[in-house]
Structure 1
Amino acid sequence: MSSLIILKNNYLSYKCLLIIIISFLFLQSCKDNAKTVKAETATTDVEINEDSISKIEPIAIKIEKKVTPLTSLKDTTFVRLADYSDGFEYDLRYATNNNFLKEKVYDCAECYTRVKTVKALLRANEEFKKSGVKIKFYDCYRPNSVQYKMWKIVPNPQYVANPVKGSIHNKGGAVDITLVTLDGEELDMGTDFDFFGKRAYHDNFDLPKEILDNRKLLKSTMEKFGFWSTRTEWWHYNLQGTSNDPIANFKWNCE
């Protein structure tokens, strides 16, 4: 009987010891978890200020600009030429003071025109590239409000179209251009853009052969793709079938 009592007492002692050990381990685990939570909180609880923001490496995000295909647009729609080709050069003079007006009349330099004009220009430029040259633009579509600005500065129909009647530039059917090599070097055309004198006339053949050849290349190729020239300005070309289009005052955004 005494042996049973001793055995029972030992069993109770072991049971108490086991409970103590389990309790100790449980408390230790809770303590470790508390440290982990505290550590995680400490890493996220950071004061954000201008100095810390300036040290953050910027992430480059490429935004794809969707351009509607020309074939999906009406021929009369205005589009930005650079959205449809990177094969042109630009020197848009009326966005600078370097022009015969001696005054900037565009808020910023952009070349917009109607879809039908763009289509013809793209074809012409591909043809020019076969000869090792490409088109460089001095002027493209011109809002009618700008035509009024130009008329106010130089109210002479010999140099500026009357804004009431409008220019074909105002209709999205005219461009002022020259030719440059594929490396961007301008071909010699005999005069600068907007030189108003006989030296700029197409029918002036009293010029060096190189100049006459360059003008011939420009004129014959543009005519091949539906443009016609102005006798007194070697740089000016109108697309056939645009003279009766409505005068526009579309204005592009300057970013």
Structure 2
Amino acid sequence: MKFNKIVLVLCFAGILLSCKSYLDSTKSTTLLDITAETDEDKFVNLKNYSNDFIYDMKYATADNFLKEKVYPCDECFLRVKTVKSLLAANKNFIEKGFKIKLYDCYRPRAIQRKMWKIVPDANYVANPRRGSIHNKGGAVDITLIDSLGIELDMGTKFDFFGEEASHNYLNLNDTIIQNRKFLKEIMLQNNFSSFDSEWWHYNLNGSKADKVENLKWKCN
């Protein structure tokens, strides 16, 4: 008990940097109100603020282009400001009969390094020395599902690295083009910007200026 008290004092004093190295993945027993969060840059677990998202966190499985599991579990941490905009976007989709399905959220720099070690190619993985918006808690990889839980046809799978995944690629049928346009329009209306070569990737506006983080989470 005495040791724990000493550690707690040191944490508050900022002496033990490791005290801040982990995000709390404990689930709240009731949904929390994101508007009550005053620190816009704080990292929070999206699952504590809404039950209206579908999760398919690809890097918590081997079902990804790396062919390897690199996340310890399927948590979705983001900065408060990102969550606020994402909740607003999902509300708009729900009003139209759809929901956001998430593939990826915040990614610690240590995992970025691990991904780079597996695929050291900037065409597929951001160099960890510079980092990505995912490392800043301002990026999400998403798609949409309908009221039956069926994914909308976006023309390619998530993390398909070919020209067909680009917003600018128009050699697609009308349904696919309209689905991508629908996703993009709502996200842009809610303070996100798109990434030209990946129809699934959206960055919170202004998040590029945020700090690359290496906050990890422990799985419960």
Sort the TM-score into its range (normalised by shorter chain).
0.7 to 0.9
Q: Which has the higher helix share?
A: 1
Q: Is the 8 A contact 2:60 2:73 kept in 1?
A: yes
- Match for 2:210: what amino acid? D
Residue 68 (structure 1) shift: 5.5
Query: What does 1:111-190 correspond to in 2, within 5 Å?
Result: 111-190=76-155
| Separation of aligned partners in 2, 1:189 and 1:228 | 18
Unaligned runs of 5+ in 2: 1-26
**In the alignment, what sits opposite 2:191?**
226
Q: Please give the TM-score of this superposition, normalised by the length of structure 2.
A: 0.85
Deviation, structure 1 residue 67:
6.3
Instruction: Provide the C-alpha distance between the structure 2 equivalents of 1:172 and 1:221, rounded to a whole number of angstroms.
Output: 20
Partner of 1:81: 46
Q: Secondary structure at the match of 1:179?
A: strand
Q: Deviations over 1:19-52 (max 9, x none)?
A: xxxxxxxxxxxxxxxxxxxxxxxxxxxxxxxxxx
CA RMSD between the two structures: 1.4
Query: What is the total number of aligned residue pairs between the two structures?
Result: 193
Match 2:65 to one of 97, 100, 109: 100
From 29, 51, 54, give the equivalent of 1:65.
29
| Aligned counterparts of 2:45 and 2:195: Cα–Cα separation in 1 | 24
Q: Deviations over 1:139-198 (max 9, x none)?
A: 000011000000000111111001010110000000000000133110000000000001
Q: Which has the greater radius of gyration? A: 1
Separation in structure 2 between the aligned mates of residue 118 and residue 171 of structure 1, nearest angstrom: 13
1:246 deviates by 0.5
Is 2:204 the partner of 1:239?
yes
Q: What secondary structure does 2:145 align onto?
A: strand
**Cα deviations by residue, 1:61-117 (Å, 9 ceiling, x for unpaired):** xx9736664223301011110110000001000000000000000011111100000
Match of 2:9 in 1: none
Q: Percent identity?
A: 55
1:250 aligns with 2:215: yes
Q: Which one-letter code corresponds to 1:128 in the other structure?
A: F
- Of structures 1 and 2, the one scoring higher in RCO (CA 8 A, sep 6+) is 2
Structure 2 distance, partners of 1:94, 1:73, is 30
